[in-house]
Structure 1
């Protein structure tokens, strides 16, 4: 099963996966009647400027380090966003001049997940930054979405390795070669699976974005 890149529109765009009656993703053009894979790549000039999800839904933004996840979230998310980069920035402000990041990285991760837990317990819709290698996080979010009667959705940034590495250089911060290759393998596996219409366990829909489609987005929000 493959994803149609050229004829995709609100009611015909992508691969039907399975029914999720509690939380249907919407595009500016109208509601999607079933959980689907939406492929917005290679749509220069025809990409939506906004995506709206159900009030009880959770959204995960995933892709390579440097692919633009944090930039997209800061620009477009309307509502609660939980971004590990924001957590690291707060800790860097206090400790970067004193300790190498590898020393306090476990504390950054702990603080990130603690902030995510608080946001989920508050019951609000949340957009979460995901590096793509922590499958247990998506499992946690899928369970939480089901508990609240919503759906977990994926936004997958399909950005090449060279572009992602350039993104790391532009922000003056990167990951090790080993870590990048690990992220690259995980992202490739996820993309191949989604393109075949096979979503990670617990996910109700996925939206595939290239750089142009991500740049076109100005709003990621929730109904209600």
Structure 2
């Protein structure tokens, strides 16, 4: 189905944040860098992954990204997406990544409004600006790293279409945490998600999580990492061939 740019833009402006679910199994090992054909998608049953578990906790895992990649960092609230994006922004050379995080916009709006309105009232403003900034970054040469919980299927598909229209390889980077880790992350950042919203997030994530190993249509690679790996991982553009 062909979708006009205007329809995509308007849909993006009001796209809500996305959710996640509790895990019964052990933490997911770090998946590996994708080597899929340029512009293609990871075939079902053969997702591009990182190599299995890191036996040495002092070893620094690396993830090399294709040039001008479109990276969606997904996971439940409190998983550590903003923490990873902040570290990426601080530690990466200038001019390499365009980091798109709605938490930055929310913080600025909170200062402007001085807490006089509940977040649910002005949240559409945050995400309208968030996705507007994303659209403006698409023509550039930097690798885009986007914060989005990405547990809604329509949102992942829409983002993959946006990536394809801008001729960028789309990559999913999931942060896989337990419910306890998620709640702990919310407490640390001082922003607790309402209980009803948390339940919705985890219901979606519990259905989605087993399928992340099968790849995702429209994405050249799907990577799943734990919070511990997210604290240490080095994300960098792949070196050019001479």
TM range (shorter): 0.7 to 0.9
Instruction: Kindly state the Cα deviation for residue 47 of structure 1 after the two structures are TM-superposed.
Output: 5.7
- Pairwise CA RMSD: 2.9
Aligned partners of 2:60, 2:181: CA distance in 1, in Å? 22
The answer for the alignment partner of 2:221 in structure 1 is 205
Q: TM-score, normalised by structure 1?
A: 0.77
Q: Which runs of 5+ in 2 are unaligned?
A: 1-27
The answer for the alignment partner of 1:142 in structure 2 is 160
Aligned partners of 1:61, 1:104: CA distance in 2, in Å? 23
Q: Retained in 2: the 8 A contact 1:57–1:153?
A: yes
Which contiguous aligned blocks of 4+ residues in structure 1 show a shift greater than 4 angstroms? 39-44
Describe the shift of the 1:9–1:173 C-alpha distance in structure 2 as closer, same or farther (beyond 3 A).
closer
Aligned partners of 1:23, 1:220: CA distance in 2, in Å? 21
Q: 3-state SS of the aligned residue for 1:156?
A: strand
**Which of 134, 155, 162 is equivalent to 2:173?**
155
The answer for the alignment partner of 1:36 in structure 2 is 48
Aligned partners of 1:165, 1:143: CA distance in 2, in Å? 32
Q: Retained in 1: the 8 A contact 2:36–2:221?
A: no
* Larger strand proportion of the pair: 1
96-105 or 175-184, which deviates more: 96-105
Instruction: Kindly state the Cα deviation for residue 39 of structure 1 after the two structures are TM-superposed.
Output: 6.2
Instruction: Kindly state the Cα deviation for residue 41 of structure 1 after the two structures are TM-superposed.
Output: 5.5
The answer for the alignment partner of 2:235 in structure 1 is 220
Q: Which runs of 5+ in 1 are unaligned?
A: 25-33
Q: How many residues align?
A: 202
Q: Is 1:172 matched up with 2:202?
A: no
Q: Retained in 1: the 8 A contact 2:105–2:130?
A: yes
Aligned partners of 1:83, 1:181: CA distance in 2, in Å? 23
The answer for the alignment partner of 1:50 in structure 2 is 62
